[in-house]
Amino acid sequence: MYLIVGLGNPDAKYQTTFHNMGYLAVGDVAEKLGVKFKKKECEAMTAEANVRGEKVILARPLTYMNASGRAVKQLMARYKLSPDQIVVIYDDYDLPKGHVRIRPSGSAGTHNGMRSIIAETGISAFARIRIGIRDEEVKIPIINYVLANVKKEDYDLFTSACNRAADAAIALAEGASVENVMTKYNG
């Protein structure tokens, strides 16, 4: 069993912001697996899929980004999941825009949603799929940047990045090792 969590903010006004890359990517996972987010549980909207006989729960926390850990902690408890069954997809200001980076563990970096997950669950050894959002040409504070809408000229770049992140998450749910997924999708 796997839990694939896409981080973002639940309000419609944040739908096309950089901070919602995780929401968008987990939406791509749902589309590829032919499921919809219908169930509200554990402070998240969830969808359930079956990948090669394994149950996969897709989740979009309904908390704001800075409290994402509450939903992840509750979902882990409800489904009795260990860290190796968790995949979190999120935007990362520390990576250039459009880059996708998969890691088996790590720190939260500058990401408050990841800080919340690590603080609430007490773990940092879970797979994460990061979607780079940094634009070297934009010189505004990070908090303003992550809540800004993606520029129209970058839409295709981020659509492609979210699609690659979704493919990486599905590969993990299919049983591919993090190392193999890193080799195939990092970049």
**Is the Cβ–Cβ distance between 145 and 22 less than 8 Å?**
no
Pairing of strands 39-41, 44-51: antiparallel
CB 90 within 8 A of CB 110: no
Please tell me the distance from the alpha carbon of residue 99 to that of residue 72, in angstroms, as a whole number. Answer: 25
Asked if 164 and 100 touch (Cβ cutoff 8 Å), the reply is yes
Catalytic residues: 19
Note whether 44 and 59 are within 8 A (CB).
Answer: yes
What is the distance between the alpha carbons of residues 162 and 179, in angstroms, rounded to a whole number? Answer: 20
